[in-house]
């Protein structure tokens, strides 16, 4: 039996237009799926070719049963590093389960400190974790550094090169607290307390930004650096000569940023207010994609991988608001929207398939976090990103602590 298509009079013009739009979106979605399958197939083919080439080379150069065992361990180590760079906790778990790494916290810390093949953003994210195990590994990691007889700037250069400092205030606090404790242990008598070392370390990092960030026009003189550090040594002042040496060291040579810092848009280690993996709903094609988000300088940047140098998209947060929303397909969602211009596209940009920068197509951005707690933390971070910097809050709290003791 043949079915005749419905006559055009059965549908209004608006309904026909909507159906055409749905068909177009369906076709675009199918094309995206096809392209994604092709990309996945290419990746697997490249991995297989690479593994076969490695096997041939190892067989030619190092025949024998012992070599075979070493080759297998190298493969597991390589895969474990890749997993770590995508998800640090799962990477460490994989290496332990396959007996490439023991569960000894000291050994894990040394593995991270050596850092061979590891993304420094991932190292910082793992070390900043709040679990007791992460904190113990952090302390062991800090103890891998030799700070004896180094001034504070020299120690900070060494420390901040071994990983990328995370953006979350609580992670920064734990890591800098561990640094201050170890520095004071290696250099007894330099400061009266670890609080002094903690505050001065932040002052130095902020000085680095003020002196070398091209967006900062008002470069602070030495006198201002002295002024902001008055009374931090258990109520007393630090020797001016010590501060002068630290100031000149930073003025003459800024901190070096690890090569895989995530992108070239951040000028310091502490600029990101928050960073992490989230799911983002597409604007034109309504599919959810996993992206690495960085919140900094009142903008939300998203990347395909943590190692990417350039973002896939940039969302300026000026004039936007954020709120919790429900979605039938994804939990723990929040939305970026413009409360004053409903129905209009948000002023944002992204890169298309050809690498060209184009205008975004979102009237709002719907984003999904892994847990309700992460969603709430992102919402809070976005709301406060314009007016607050985690470093200033941490320093202020520690100065109050010193004042209360005196």
Answer yes or no: 42 catalytic: no
Alpha-carbon distance of 182 to 188, in angstroms, equals 10
Check 16, 97, 168, 241 and give the catalytic one.
168
- Of the candidates 176, 151, 161, 120, the one whose C-alpha atom is nearest the C-alpha of residue 256 is 161
Which DSSP state fits 348? Answer: -
Which DSSP state fits 358? Answer: E
Contacts with 7 (C-beta within 8 Å, 6 or more apart), sequence order? none
Count of helix runs (H) and strand runs (E) in the chain? 13, 9
- Of the candidates 45, 98, 42, the one whose C-alpha atom is nearest the C-alpha of residue 75 is 98
Distances (CA, A) of 181 to 142, 143, 198: 9, 10, 8
- Contacts of residues 95-100 at CB distance under 8 Å and 24 or more positions apart, as own/partner, are 100/73, 100/76
Q: Give the CB-side neighbour count of residue 276, counting CA atoms within 13 A.
A: 20
Phi, psi for residue 379 in degrees, rounded to 5: -60, -45
- Sheet strand arrangement including 321-325: 321-325, 333-337, 364-368, 274-281, 288-296, 299-303, 313-316, 349-351, 357-359
First to last CA, the chain: 94
Return the structure tokens found at 12.
């209004």
Contacts with 194 (C-beta within 8 Å, 6 or more apart), sequence order? 177, 180, 181, 184
288-296 vs 313-316, strand pairing mode: unpaired
Residue 267, judged by CB atoms within 10 A of its CB (0-12, 13-18, 19+), counts as: middle
Tell me which residues are annotated as active site. Answer: 168
């Amino acid at each position: 039996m043949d079915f005749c298509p419905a006559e055009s009079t059965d549908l209004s013009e608006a309904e026909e237009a909507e159906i055409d739009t749905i068909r177009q979106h369906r076709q675009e979605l199918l094309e995206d799926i096809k392209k994604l399958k092709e990309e996945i197939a290419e990746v697997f083919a490249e991995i297989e070719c690479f593994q076969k080439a490695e096997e041939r080379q190892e067989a030619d150069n190092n025949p024998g049963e012992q070599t075979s065992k070493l080759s297998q361990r190298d493969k597991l180590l390589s895969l474990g590093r890749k997993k770590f760079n995508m998800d640090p906790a799962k990477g460490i778990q994989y290496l332990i389960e396959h007996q490439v790494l023991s569960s000894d916290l000291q050994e894990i810390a040394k593995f991270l400190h050596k850092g061979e093949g590891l993304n420094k953003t991932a190292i910082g994210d793992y070390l900043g974790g709040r679990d007791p195990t992460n904190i113990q590994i952090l302390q062991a990691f800090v103890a891998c550094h030799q700070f004896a007889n180094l001034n504070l700037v020299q120690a900070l250069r060494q420390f901040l090169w071994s990983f990328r400092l995370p953006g979350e205030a609580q992670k920064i606090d734990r890591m800098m607290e561990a640094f201050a404790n170890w520095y004071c242990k290696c250099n007894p008598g330099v400061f009266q307390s670890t609080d002094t070392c903690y505050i001065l370390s932040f002052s130095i990092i902020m000085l680095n930004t003020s002196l070398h960030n091209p967006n900062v026009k008002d470069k602070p003189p030495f006198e201002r650096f002295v002024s902001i550090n008055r009374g931090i040594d258990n109520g007393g002042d630090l020797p001016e000569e010590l501060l002068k040496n630290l100031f000149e060291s930073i003025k003459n040579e800024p901190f070096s940023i690890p090569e895989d810092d995530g992108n070239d848009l951040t000028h310091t280690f502490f600029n990101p207010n928050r960073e992490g993996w989230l799911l983002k709903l597409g604007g034109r094609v309504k599919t959810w994609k996993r992206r690495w988000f960085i919140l900094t300088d009142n903008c939300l940047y998203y990347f395909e991988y943590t190692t990417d140098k350039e973002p896939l998209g940039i969302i300026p947060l000026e004039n936007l608001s954020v709120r919790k929303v429900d979605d039938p397909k994804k939990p723990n969602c929040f939305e970026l929207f413009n409360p004053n211009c409903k129905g209009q596209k948000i002023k944002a940009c992204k890169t298309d398939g050809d690498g060209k920068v184009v205008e975004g197509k979102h009237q709002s951005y719907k984003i999904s976090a892994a847990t309700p707690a992460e969603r709430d933390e992102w919402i809070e971070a976005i709301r406060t990103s314009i007016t607050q910097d985690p470093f200033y809050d941490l320093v202020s709290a520690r100065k109050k602590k010193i004042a209360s003791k005196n």
